[in-house]
């Protein structure tokens, strides 16, 4: 007799052809094999399936797997059958004959695994058949769907508690995205007994997590183009609306990429075709809503860019985590504008109807009104219309569950629970906003969030030890700072003293209005036009002033302070001790201000999401764009970079980005100051590589016969 551990290792090698377990797999598989309940939280791609498929091979009886998506089930079953393992799936996509054939195999105990869509469980004949067959284990995949606190609640998952009770077998619950409270909810609802709780595999050192705060849609477009130029394809751009998806899809096409869109508004067949083309490598990029990607097994995704702020860190990391499964460097970038928070606030309101609205809609349902009438009666505010539609949906579901006709008697919903859900939705959004706005290691932020449920928990102690691979740890934002001109320094001091006078009382918008001398109503109402700093930055535009305030914040001269009890992402600005030093002219600090070029006009506020991103000004320059001497130098620079990257054991772009190399090849800087004008080269890079780069360029110059530098680089040096 072999030990359980030996049996598992043997099956791993013989049946699955893997040489070793990944983090957490063996522990989870053993616990399941030994009959212990398990709640395992492992990120997408970590290999959750193996944790229950392996024990299923070794156990007497069938393992029942509940899985929310037919496509996922099919893929899994196909893969198992291909390995000679008896597995099947039962779902609505099968004909009656197929279903009954599978039921017979189940009854005869021929199946190692059976995958079931949760809505099947409403069929009592099927439930009874399941109870009569020899079920050994129950597995819940995507188990967060059971919890209303999760981001992807599915009412059908509510039946699983009863199923577990009826089957009375050990349960394994698996998910990629559960914070501690969701984990507890899963345990409670499934009635697990002292389960093994496993949270593992969230560290993904090959992913570079980054956030770019963008002031406009154009700036987002430029960032996207830059990411693609730096890390290559394939990749995914996520947007939160269909319209957004189409706009970003158009942009990808304009960048010359083989690309396509994917969203729920497309037909199932079309979506399948797009997905297949992407999986097979026929598409370089996809613009998609979050409908795309669940269960996608594509290892070589080089970037996942979020063009809109997601509603939670769980959702964000699950989507971002689709990048770099092959272990090679990959980039996950969140492009964020403060406006995005408003969009999320909108969704939050729209998906959490208040009790008054619920009662109104309940009566309307009783009078037989349809969805569109109910929405129209809710008025013109679109968040309220969405809330009315949500209310109608929840109430109909509630009525159906209770078997009561709509509109009669009490509301068929637990109002306390709904309030609780809203509170948690808000908490999740707050955490997401913290992730986007804080200058703290993104990797640590995420790991902490999954462990503790908060982003900001005891930030201080871990502050020295970052993940080492995110934008903060790599110092990207510092690298973009530059010394200020005397005039800019004075402007910074004025801005700081403006904030000092209004310490922690107003946000960016009001302070910028005050500094630029706006006559907007709130300025006059609050008497801000009587401050000595009023209008002192009149030579700057409002967007420029906001940019300055944001650069002062990044440099930690100002601090964003959340408003107690205020909406998500609403901040007031406060002066920091360092800020005070600069204000009194006792210190000077370089800032991440754009270089002094005319910047594109900002779109009118509040409409950014409806405007198509304009044709990108930044092209991803292909080597072919370079004349021979440039190409030669570029090649030498690349070789140099590869060598340095190897020596330091870091991805190449950590040394210098493609963008920097290309600018170097074209601009051919001859001295240190000119090097600093190259995008991506700041004081630190100058210090480390300045001399080497200058000598590489000098050699290039003699080889090229001293060709004069072009007067403009093919890349855009502006930061939006
Ligand atoms: P998850 O459900 O956690 O998203 P999957 O179970 O779908 O992940 O597994 C993702 C991929 O990892 C699959 O292609 C699977 O074959 C592979 N995989 C899982 N475990 C191992 C292992 N121990 N060694 C090598 N590959 C593995
Ligand atoms: Mg899975």
Q: Which ligand is nearest to the CA of 82?
A: 1
Q: Which of 47, 67, 279, 298 to mutate to test the pocket of ligand 1 (most atoms within 8 A of CB)?
A: 47
Is the distance from the beta carbon of residue 293 to the nearest atom of ligand 1 less than 6 Å? Answer: no
Longest dimension (CA), the chain: 89
- What are the residues whose beta carbons fall under 8 Å from the beta carbon of 458, sequence distance 6 or more? none
- Give the span between the Cα atoms of 543 and 547, in whole angstroms: 6
Q: Which ligand is nearest to the CA of 13?
A: 1
> Model's pTM, two decimal places?
0.64
Read out DSSP for 393-438?
Answer: HHHHHHHHHHT--TTSSS-SS-HHHHHHHHHHHHHHHHHHHHHHH-
**Where is 172: in which H helix or E strand?**
strand 171-175
Ligand 2 centre and the CA of 176: distance in Å? Answer: 8
Is the distance from the beta carbon of residue 42 to the nearest atom of ligand 1 less than 6 Å? Answer: yes
Q: Which ligand is nearest to the CA of 40?
A: 1
Is the distance from the beta carbon of residue 24 to the nearest atom of ligand 1 less than 6 Å? Answer: no
Ligand 1 centre and the CA of 636: distance in Å? Answer: 39
Sign of CA dihedral 514, 517, 520, 521: positive
- Give the span between the Cα atoms of 697 and 674, in whole angstroms: 12
Is the distance from the beta carbon of residue 45 to the nearest atom of ligand 1 less than 6 Å? Answer: yes
Is the distance from the beta carbon of residue 18 to the nearest atom of ligand 1 less than 6 Å? Answer: yes
Among left, alpha and beta (phi > 0; psi -120 to 50; other), residue 373 is alpha
Is the distance from the beta carbon of residue 189 to the nearest atom of ligand 1 less than 6 Å? Answer: no
Residue 221 has phi, psi (to 5 degrees) of: -60, -40
- How would residue 462 be classed by pLDDT, with cut points 50, 70 and 90? very low
pLDDT, tens digit, for every residue of 91-110?
888 899 999 999 999 999 99
Ligand 1 centre and the CA of 72: distance in Å? Answer: 13
- Give the span between the Cα atoms of 571 and 213, in whole angstroms: 15
Pairing of strands 87-90, 303-306: unpaired
pLDDT, tens digit, for every residue of 675-709?
887 877 877 888 889 889 988 888 755 544 333 33
- How would residue 133 be classed by pLDDT, with cut points 50, 70 and 90? very high
pLDDT at 675: 84
Is the distance from the beta carbon of residue 83 to the nearest atom of ligand 1 less than 6 Å? Answer: no
pLDDT at 629: 57
- Give the span between the Cα atoms of 282 and 275, in whole angstroms: 10
Summarize the confidence of residues 122-140 as an average pLDDT: 93
Summarize the confidence of residues 270-289 as an average pLDDT: 94
What is the residue with the minimal CA distance to atom 2 of ligand 1? 48
Q: Which ligand is nearest to the CA of 141?
A: 2
Q: Which two tokens stand for residue 235?
A: 């990749």
- The number of the ligand 1 atom at minimal distance from the alpha carbon of 76 is 7
Q: Which two tokens stand for residue 594?
A: 């754009």
Ligand 1 centre and the CA of 678: distance in Å? Answer: 42
- Give the span between the Cα atoms of 346 and 329, in whole angstroms: 35
- How would residue 661 be classed by pLDDT, with cut points 50, 70 and 90? confident
pLDDT at 714: 30
The overall average pLDDT reported for the chain is 85
Summarize the confidence of residues 272-278 as an average pLDDT: 94
- The number of the ligand 1 atom at minimal distance from the alpha carbon of 16 is 16
Provide the CA 696 distance to its chain's centre, in angstroms: 39
- The number of the ligand 1 atom at minimal distance from the alpha carbon of 49 is 6
Ligand 1 centre and the CA of 49: distance in Å? Answer: 7
Ligand 2 centre and the CA of 294: distance in Å? Answer: 8
What is the residue with the minimal CA distance to atom 27 of ligand 1? 47
Is the distance from the beta carbon of residue 114 to the nearest atom of ligand 1 less than 6 Å? Answer: no
pLDDT at 625: 35
Ligand 2 centre and the CA of 672: distance in Å? Answer: 52
- The number of the ligand 1 atom at minimal distance from the alpha carbon of 295 is 4
Which residue shows structure tokens 């063996």? 26
Ligand 1 centre and the CA of 583: distance in Å? Answer: 55
Strand partners, 332: 209, 304
What is the residue with the minimal CA distance to atom 15 of ligand 1? 47
Summarize the confidence of residues 709-714 as an average pLDDT: 32
pLDDT at 622: 33
What is the residue with the minimal CA distance to atom 12 of ligand 1? 47
Q: Which of 19, 49, 115 to mutate to test the pocket of ligand 1 (most atoms within 8 A of CB)?
A: 49
């Amino acid at each position: 007799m072999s030990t359980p551990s030996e049996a598992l290792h043997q099956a791993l090698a013989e049946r699955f052809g893997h040489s070793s377990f990944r983090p957490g797999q063996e522990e989870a598989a053993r616990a399941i094999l030994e009959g212990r309940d398990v709640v395992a939280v492992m990120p997408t791609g970590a290999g959750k399936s193996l944790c229950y498929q392996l024990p299923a091979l070794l156990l007497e009886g069938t393992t029942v797997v509940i899985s929310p998506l037919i496509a996922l089930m099919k893929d899994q079953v196909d893969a198992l059958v291909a390995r000679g393992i008896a597995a099947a799936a039962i779902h609505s996509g099968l004909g009656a004959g197929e279903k009954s054939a599978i039921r017979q195999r189940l009854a005869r105990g021929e199946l190692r695994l059976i995958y079931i869509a949760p809505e099947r469980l409403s069929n009592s004949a099927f439930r009874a058949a399941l109870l009569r067959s020899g079920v050994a284990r129950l597995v819940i995949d995507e188990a967060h769907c059971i919890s209303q606190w999760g981001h992807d609640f599915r009412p059908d998952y509510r039946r699983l508690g009863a199923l577990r009770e009826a089957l009375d077998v050990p349960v394994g619950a698996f998910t990629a995205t559960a914070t501690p409270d969701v984990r507890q909810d899963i345990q409670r609802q499934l009635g697990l007994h002292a389960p093994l709780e496993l949270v593992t595999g969230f560290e993904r050192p090959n992913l570079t997590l980054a956030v770019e705060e963008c002031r406009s849609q154009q700036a987002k477009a430029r960032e996207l183009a830059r990411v693609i130029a730096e890390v290559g394809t394939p990749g995914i751009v996520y947007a939160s609306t269909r319209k957004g998806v189409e706009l970003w899809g158009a942009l990808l096409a304009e960048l010359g990429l083989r690309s396509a869109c994917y969203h729920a508004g497309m037909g199932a067949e079309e979506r399948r075709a797009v997905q297949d083309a992407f999986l097979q490598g026929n598409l370089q990029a996809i613009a998609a809503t979050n409908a795309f990607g669940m269960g996608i097994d594509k290892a070589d995704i080089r970037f996942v860019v979020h063009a809109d702020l997601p509603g939670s860190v769980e959702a964000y990391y699950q989507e971002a985590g689709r990048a770099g499964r092959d272990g090679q460097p990959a980039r996950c970038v969140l492009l964020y504008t403060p406006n995005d928070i408003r969009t999320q606030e909108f969704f939050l309101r729209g998906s959490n109807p208040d009790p008054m609205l619920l009662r109104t809609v309940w009566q309307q349902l009783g009078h037989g009104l349809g969805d569109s009438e109910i929405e129209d009666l809710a008025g013109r505010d679109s968040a309220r219309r969405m809330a009315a539609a949500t209310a109608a949906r929840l109430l109909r579901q509630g009525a159906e569950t209770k078997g009561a006709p709509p509109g009669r008697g009490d509301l068929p919903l637990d109002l306390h629970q709904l309030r609780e859900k809203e509170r948690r939705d808000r908490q999740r959004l707050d955490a997401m906003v913290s992730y986007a706005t804080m200058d703290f290691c993104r990797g640590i932020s995420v790991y902490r969030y999954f462990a503790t449920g908060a982003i900001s928990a005891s930030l201080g102690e871990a502050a020295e030890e970052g993940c080492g691979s995110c934008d903060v740890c790599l110092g990207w934002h510092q690298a973009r700072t530059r010394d200020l001109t005397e005039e800019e320094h004075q402007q910074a001091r004025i801005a700081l003293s403006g904030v000092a006078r209004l310490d922690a009382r107003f946000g960016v918008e009001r302070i910028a209005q005050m500094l630029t001398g706006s006559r907007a109503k709130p300025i006059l109402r609050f008497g801000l036009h009587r401050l000595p700093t009023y209008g002192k930055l009149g030579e700057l535009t409002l967007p420029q002033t906001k940019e300055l305030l944001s650069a002062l914040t990044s440099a930690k001269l100002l601090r964003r302070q959340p408003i107690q009890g205020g909406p998500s992402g609403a901040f007031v600005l406060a002066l920091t001790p360092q800020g005070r030093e600069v204000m009194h002219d006792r210190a000077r600090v370089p800032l991440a201000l754009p270089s002094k070029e005319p910047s594109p006009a900002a779109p009118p506020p509040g409409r950014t999401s409806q405007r198509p991103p304009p044709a990108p000004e930044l092209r991803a320059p292909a080597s072919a764009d370079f004349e021979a001497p440039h190409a030669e130098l570029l090649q030498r620079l690349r070789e140099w970079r590869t060598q340095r990257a190897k020596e330091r054991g870091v991805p190449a772009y950590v040394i210098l980005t493609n963008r920097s190399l290309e600018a170097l090849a074209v601009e051919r800087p001859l001295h240190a100051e000119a090097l600093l004008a190259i995008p991506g080269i700041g004081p630190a890079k100058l210090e480390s590589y300045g001399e080497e780069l200058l000598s590489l360029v000098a050699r290039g110059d003699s080889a090229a016969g001293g060709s004069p530098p072009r007067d403009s680089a093919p890349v855009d040096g502006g930061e939006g």
